[in-house]
């Protein structure tokens, strides 16, 4: 219609250019907000006893880089084992971060030590995936009108911090080939290298943390699409398999069903493989199911992140395509966080069974049922 | 890294060409298309997205 009348002119070009500049300005503000969020966003309130350190305290190469992240350590009165809880490896997996924050804000350690990293890859928290339509933040409701706000980021490091990626990524330690984008994925970069790209340096920082703090049990928290087979699951390195099997049975007695998967020996770059191979820690990775990440999802908004309610996923469940029970068509964040918390607690409580003298005794962390009943917000600080 | 700056120069060059196209184009629709192309390019050139 426009071509016939040839309405384009110098005046229209200038007008369009001005409107475009305004749109660019507004978009830029929105994107930049994720890099320098309001102080209330991603705020954590560590429980008494936690000391704050930085990952760069363990690997100098991270100092003054966008990858440097907070590390919180609490030492119990009695000696015992050391557990590392890593949340936020992938910033689009909120149950991972929230479970770590819940431990950080509630735990009192009586025996042993707890190390919590709530935002493992903060470079993934400064952007969302193009065309995925994810909201930039989500609210965890507390009593009354209060809420806590967290960023919903992306699986990989922001390209602003690491670019370009090759077509094929060759994992440095093993020579394994992967899709190029995996070079920006923290959970394909382990054990990392001190002179690699920023994501590999970050992975190397965690290796040094585990080695220097003599971590006994290292737990990496994740979420995945409901149509992915490894959900509501625990992936364990072969040295951690005995502990993982004990915990799986313990959880069955609490009516928390969890798949136990051995860490594939030929699948490199992931925490459960590389931490197990390169450190003395017993390495496990936990997965819950998050419909907001899946390819089958429909409307993508904060509601989907928090409730997991999606018509398309309900249909997929009816067709037998999901790996989670989804009869009621929901997968609420409280249930996903509760699952992570319950598994981590059982792993910590049973560590002494496989490592004599390395027991961990903690209190203050709510049970599965309480989190499901009262919601995550009930256990986060104001 | 040198490759990032080569990329940046290419992006800026394409932005200039698109702006020139915007002014030379006689069709309003094509001008609008050029404007839409400009948005991601400028955000990239500014290292925002």
User: Residue A129 sits in a domain of what CATH number?
Assistant: 3.40.630.10
Write down the pLDDT at residue B49. 86
Write down the pLDDT at residue A369. 97
Over 70: is that where the pLDDT of A276 sits? yes
Please state the pTM of the whole predicted model.
Answer: 0.94
**Chain B CB within 8 Å of residue A22 CB:** no
Q: Are residues A254 and A234 in the same domain?
A: yes
ipTM over 0.90? The verdict is yes
Q: Are residues A141 and A33 in the same domain?
A: no
Residue numbers in A near B22 (CB within 8 A) = 13, 16-17
Residue numbers in A near B30 (CB within 8 A) = 3, 8
pLDDT level of residue A4 (50, 70, 90 thresholds): low
- Spatial separation of the C-alpha atoms in residues A190 and A271, rounded to whole Å: 6
Across the range A336-362, mean pLDDT stands at: 98
Instruction: Determine, yes or no, domain membership for A5.
Output: no
Across the range A147-164, mean pLDDT stands at: 94
Write down the pLDDT at residue A5. 59
Cβ pairs A/B, distance under 8 A: 66
Across the range B37-47, mean pLDDT stands at: 95
Q: Are residues A85 and A26 in the same domain?
A: no
Q: Are residues A229 and A354 in the same domain?
A: yes
Write down the pLDDT at residue B3. 83
A346-to-A8, A42, A100, A113, A145 alpha-carbon distances in Å: 68, 27, 15, 15, 34
Q: Are residues A143 and A243 in the same domain?
A: yes
Q: Are residues A125 and A21 in the same domain?
A: no
pLDDT digits (tens, 9 = 90+) for A314-345: 999 999 999 999 999 999 999 999 999 999 99
Distance between first and last Cα of chain B: 18
Across the range A258-283, mean pLDDT stands at: 97
Across the range A291-303, mean pLDDT stands at: 96
B48–A160: do the CB atoms touch at under 8 Å? Answer: yes
For residues A145 and A375, the model is more confident at A375
pLDDT digits (tens, 9 = 90+) for A24-77: 999 999 999 999 999 999 999 999 999 999 999 999 999 999 999 999 999 999
Residue numbers in B near A2 (CB within 8 A) = 27-29
Helix (H/G/I), strand (E/B), else coil: B36:
helix
**Chain B CB within 8 Å of residue A160 CB:** yes
Main-chain dihedrals φ then ψ at residue A224, nearest 5 degrees = -150, 170
Across the range A197-205, mean pLDDT stands at: 98
- Smallest Cβ distance to A28: which of B3, B31, B46? B46
Nearest by Cα to A85 from A279, A216, A224, A259: A216
Q: Are residues A19 and A69 in the same domain?
A: no
Instruction: Determine, yes or no, domain membership for A268.
Output: yes
Main-chain dihedrals φ then ψ at residue A375, nearest 5 degrees = 90, 160
Helix (H/G/I), strand (E/B), else coil: B41:
helix
Q: Are residues A226 and A154 in the same domain?
A: yes
Tracing tokens 């009593």 back to the chain, one arrives at: A143
Domain that holds residue A27: 10-37
Write down the pLDDT at residue A92. 97
Residue numbers in B near A1 (CB within 8 A) = 29
Q: Are residues A32 and A109 in the same domain?
A: no
Residue numbers in B near A10 (CB within 8 A) = 23
Query: What percent of chain A is modeled with pLDDT above 70?
Result: 98
Q: Are residues A76 and A21 in the same domain?
A: no
Q: What is the tally of structural domains in chain A?
A: 2
Contact A117, A72 (CB under 8 A): yes
Across the range A98-119, mean pLDDT stands at: 98
Instruction: Determine, yes or no, domain membership for A2.
Output: no
Q: Is A329 left (phi over 0), alpha (psi -120 to 50) or beta?
A: left
Instruction: Determine, yes or no, domain membership for A3.
Output: no
Q: Are residues A15 and A147 in the same domain?
A: no
- Smallest Cβ distance to A23: which of B23, B26, B39? B39
Q: How far is A198 from chain B (nearest CA, A)?
A: 13
pLDDT level of residue A6 (50, 70, 90 thresholds): low
Write down the pLDDT at residue A342. 98
Tokens for A331, please give them: 């997968």
Q: Are residues A31 and A164 in the same domain?
A: no
Mean pLDDT of chain A: 96
Write down the pLDDT at residue A240. 98
């Amino acid at each position: 219609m426009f071509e016939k009348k040839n309405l384009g002119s110098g005046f229209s070009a200038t007008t369009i250019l001005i409107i475009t500049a305004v749109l660019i300005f507004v978009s830029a503000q929105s994107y930049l907000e994720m890099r320098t969020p309001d102080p209330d966003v991603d705020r954590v309130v560590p429980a008494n006893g936690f000391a704050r350190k930085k990952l760069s305290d363990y690997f100098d190469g991270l100092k003054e880089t966008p990858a440097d992240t907070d590390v919180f350590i609490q030492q119990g009165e009695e000696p015992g084992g050391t557990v590392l809880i890593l949340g936020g490896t992938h910033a689009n997996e909120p149950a991972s971060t929230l479970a770590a924050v819940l431990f950080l804000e509630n735990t009192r350690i009586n025996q042993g030590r707890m190390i919590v990293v709530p935002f493992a890859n903060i470079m993934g928290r400064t952007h969302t995936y193009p065309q995925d339509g994810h909201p930039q933040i989500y609210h965890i409701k507390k009593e009354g009108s209060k809420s806590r706000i967290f960023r919903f980021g992306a699986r990989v490091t922001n390209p602003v911090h690491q670019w370009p990626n090759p077509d094929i990524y060759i994992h440095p330690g093993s020579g394994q080939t992967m899709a190029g984008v995996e070079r920006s994925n923290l959970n394909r970069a382990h054990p990392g290298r001190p002179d690699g790209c920023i994501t590999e340096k970050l992975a190397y920082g965690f290796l040094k943390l585990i080695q220097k703090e003599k971590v006994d049990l290292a737990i990496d928290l994740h979420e995945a699409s409901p149509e992915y087979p490894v959900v509501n699951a625990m992936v364990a390195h072969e040295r951690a398999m005995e502990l993982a099997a004990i915990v799986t049975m313990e959880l069955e007695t609490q009516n928390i069903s969890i798949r136990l998967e051995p860490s594939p020996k030929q699948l490199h770059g992931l925490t459960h493989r590389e931490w197990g191979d390169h450190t003395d820690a017993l390495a496990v990775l936990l997965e819950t199911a998050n419909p907001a990440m899946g390819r089958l999802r429909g409307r993508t908004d904060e509601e989907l992140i928090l409730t997991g309610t999606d018509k398309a996923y309900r249909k997929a469940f009816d067709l037998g395509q999901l790996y989670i029970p989804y009869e009621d068509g929901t997968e609420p964040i409280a249930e996903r966080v509760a699952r992570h918390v319950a598994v981590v607690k059982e792993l910590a409580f049973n560590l002494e069974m496989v490592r004599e003298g390395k027991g961990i005794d903690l209190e203050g962390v709510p049970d599965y049922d309480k989190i499901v009943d009262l919601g995550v917000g009930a256990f986060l600080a104001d | 890294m040198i490759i990032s700056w080569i990329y940046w120069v290419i992006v800026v060059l394409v932005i200039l060409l698109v702006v020139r196209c915007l002014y030379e184009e006689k069709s309003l629709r094509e001008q609008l298309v050029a404007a839409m192309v400009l948005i991601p390019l400028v955000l990239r050139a500014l290292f925002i997205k």
